[in-house]
């Protein structure tokens, strides 16, 4: 599903990039100024979380696998509806290797159910470091 969407966006000339989606609160890897994104990192009330698309029903519990430079970790998440459709959300800390990997310019790999995609780290530090620091 996501690979088809990315191909369609590329054909339209709309590319995924790291962007300050809601300054001081949310950064995203997606098409700027839209809800079209592959990953979102939020700071809400001093807590960091990572969200992304999940091809699942709202309230369904899904297994989320994220591979960073430290290896693959598995999380459980309840799917919630967001502006771009159903999403998983997991809590992380500022020292989490997932965030460190992205800030270092390296890619992470995400897998939810049967869908998997890569989120590049190139360009992430510019928006991610200030978010983490202020959170």
Across 36-46, b (16+ Cβ under 10 Å) vs e yields bbbbbbbbeee
The Cα 67–Cα 36 span in angstroms is: 22
Break the chain into its structural domains and give their ranges: 2-128
Q: In the predicted model, is pLDDT for residue 132 greater than 80? A: yes
**For residues 60-74, average pLDDT:** 97
**For residues 56-74, average pLDDT:** 96
Q: In the predicted model, is pLDDT for residue 123 greater than 90? A: yes
The secondary structure of 47-96 as a DSSP string is EEEEEEE-SS-TT-EEEEEEEETTEEEEEEEE-EEETTEEEEEEEE-TT-
CATH fold, domain 2-128, is Immunoglobulin-like (2.60.40)
pTM: 0.88
Judge residue 54's burial from the number of C-beta atoms within 10 Å of its C-beta, 0-12 exposed, 13-18 middle, 19 or more buried: buried
Q: For tokens 């459709």, what's the residue?
A: 85
What pLDDT sits at residue 3?
52
């Amino acid at each position: 599903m996501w690979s088809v969407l990315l191909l369609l966006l590329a054909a339209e000339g709309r590319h995924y990039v790291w962007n300050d989606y809601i300054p001081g609160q949310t950064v995203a890897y997606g098409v700027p100024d839209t809800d079209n994104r592959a990953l979102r990192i939020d700071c809400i009330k001093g807590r960091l979380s990572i969200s992304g698309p999940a091809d699942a029903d709202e309230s369904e519990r899904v297994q989320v696998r994220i591979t960073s430079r430290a290896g693959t970790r598995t999380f459980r998440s309840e799917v919630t509806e967001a502006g771009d459709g159903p999403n998983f959300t997991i809590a992380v800390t500022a020292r989490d290797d997932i965030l460190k990997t992205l800030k270092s310019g390296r890619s992470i790999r995400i897998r939810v159910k049967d869908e998997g995609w890569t989120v590049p780290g190139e360009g992430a530090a510019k928006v991610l470091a200030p978010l983490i620091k202020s959170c």
